[in-house]
Amino acid sequence: MKNIVVVGSQWGDEGKGKIVDWLSEQADVVIRFQGGHNAGHTLVIDGKTYKLRLLPSGIVRKDKISIIGNGVVVDPWALLEEIKEIKDKGIDVTVDNFIISESANLILPFHKEMDEIREDSAGKSKIGTTRRGIGPAYEDKVGRRSIRLMDLRSEINLDKRLESVLLHHNAIRKGLGKKLFQREQLKKDLLKIAPELLKFSQPVWMKIDQFKKQNKKILFEGAQGILLDVDHGTYPFVTSSNTVASNAATGTGCGPDSINYVLGITKAYTTRVGEGPFPTELNDEIGELLGTKGKEFGTVTSRKRRCGWFDGVLVRQTIKVSGINSIALTKLDVLDELEEIKMCVEYELNGKRIDYLPASVEDQLKIKPVFKSFKGWKKSTNGIKNIDELPQEAKDYIYAIEDFVGTKISSVSTSPERDDTILIENPFEI
C-alpha cells in the first residue's frame, strides 16, 4: 500500500486537478483535506471539461471513493449545486462513492458577506480573496462557534449553535450598520437541505482506518499552493488554512504514518491570483503571452492570473517546507514559442544576495530576482508522451530545474489532456 499527498508547490493553479485525476486511476480513494470552494480544479477528459470546486478530482472516475475531509470548509448550497452540475454531465454521485466528514465546518451566508465587506473596505490593503467566505468560516472554526455538518442532525442542537455564531456575527454587523441575520430563517434554510447532505455524512477518520486495513491506496488532494499556506506562505496574502502536505493527516483524521509520498505539482513558469509579492512577475508582452497561451484565468473566479518566470528559489523552499519527494512539472508546452526562457536562482535584497524568501512581507516586496537564462526550443511539445521526443533545449531546462530545486521530476505534462503526460517515475510504484 502507498498513500500519496498531492500539493501545489507555488501559489496554486499548478494543474493539480489533471495530475490528481491521472493518479486516481491507480488509487482507490481520493480525499480533499483543506480549503473550500475557492479552489478550482479543471479536468479535460475525452474532450469534455469538468470544473470542480469542492468535489475531489476522483469523482469523475468509476469505482473510486471520493471524500471531503474535516479540514475542508463546506458551503452546503455550493456543494449541492456542484453535485447537480456533475450529475448533469453523466457522473454518478452517490452514498457509495462520496463521503463528507461529519466534522466538516459549514460556510454560511454571513461568512460570504463578511468576506466581501472586508475586501471592499480594505482598499489598497486588500488580500485578493475569492469572496467565498472561506476566511470567516475558518475564523469561526477556531473561535469554537462554527456550525458543523453533524449539527444539522438535531434541530435543538442547531438552534443552540446558531445562537452562538449569530451572537458574534450580528454584533459586528450591527456595528457596521448591516442588516442582522434572523436565526429562524437560517435554521429553516439549513434544515431544508440537511437530509440531502447528511446522507453523505460519515466519520472519515474511521473510514480511513478501514481503508488502511484493507490495503487501499489513498490519494490526498490539497487545494491552493504552499506559498498560500497561512503559516508558510507570503503572509498576510495567503489563504486561511495550512496547504502543506502534513495537513493531510490533520485535515482527514489519520496519523502522519499514513503519508508515504508527497508529490508537488509545479508549473514550468509561475502564476499568482490576487494581491501579494511576486518576485518574477512579468508585466510585459511575455507575461501576456504566458497568460494567453496558458489560459491563465481562475476556474472559480475567472480572474486573470499574474504571470512570471519560474522561481527556483521559491520552489526549492516549498519542497523543504512540505517534504516533497518529487515534482510533476506542468504546462511545459506553454513555453514553446519563446526565444529565451529564464529561471530565478537568487534574490537581491538591500544590495545583498540571498537564497531564500524572507518571512517579512516588506522584504518580499523589495527583493529583486537574479535570473539564469536558457535557450528556447521554438518547437511544439504539445501532446508529447516520451521524454526522448522532447527538443534538447526543453530537456536541458527540465534537468536544470531538477538540479536547482534538489528534487527529481517524476512527470511532465504537455497539455491539459489527461494522457498527455511524460511519466518518468510512478509514485505508486516506487
According to the model, what pLDDT value does residue 301 have?
Answer: 60
Separation between Cα atoms, residue 226 and residue 145, nearest integer Å: 28
Mean pLDDT for 52-72 is 91
Other CB atoms closer than 10 Å to residue 35's CB: what's the count? 26
Looking at the annotation, which residues are catalytic?
Answer: 13, 41
Which segments within 26-69 are labelled E, that is strand?
A: 29-32, 41-45, 48-52, 65-68
Strands 98-101 and 65-68: parallel
Q: Which of 129-138, 194-203, 336-345 has the lowest mean pLDDT?
A: 129-138
Looking at 117-126, 194-203, 231-240, 350-359, which range is the least confident one? 117-126
Q: How far apart are CA 81 and CA 83, in angstroms?
A: 5
Residue 81: CA count within 13 A, CB half-sphere: 8
Task: Quickly state the pLDDT bin for 39 (edges 50, 70, 90).
Answer: low
Sign of CA dihedral 360, 364, 365, 368: positive
Amino acid letter for position 150: M
CB atoms within 10 A of CB 46: 7
User: How far separated are the first and last CA of the chain, in Å rounded?
Assistant: 11
**Residue range 295-304: average pLDDT?**
72
Q: What is the pLDDT of residues 376-414, one digit of tens each?
A: 999 999 999 999 999 999 999 999 999 999 999 999 999
Is the pLDDT at 45 greater than 60? The verdict is: yes
Question: Residue 299: what pLDDT?
Answer: 58
Q: What is the DSSP letter of 182?
A: P
For 36, list phi and psi in degrees, rounded to 5: -150, -145
Stretch 24-41: mean pLDDT = 87
pTM recorded for the entire structure: 0.92
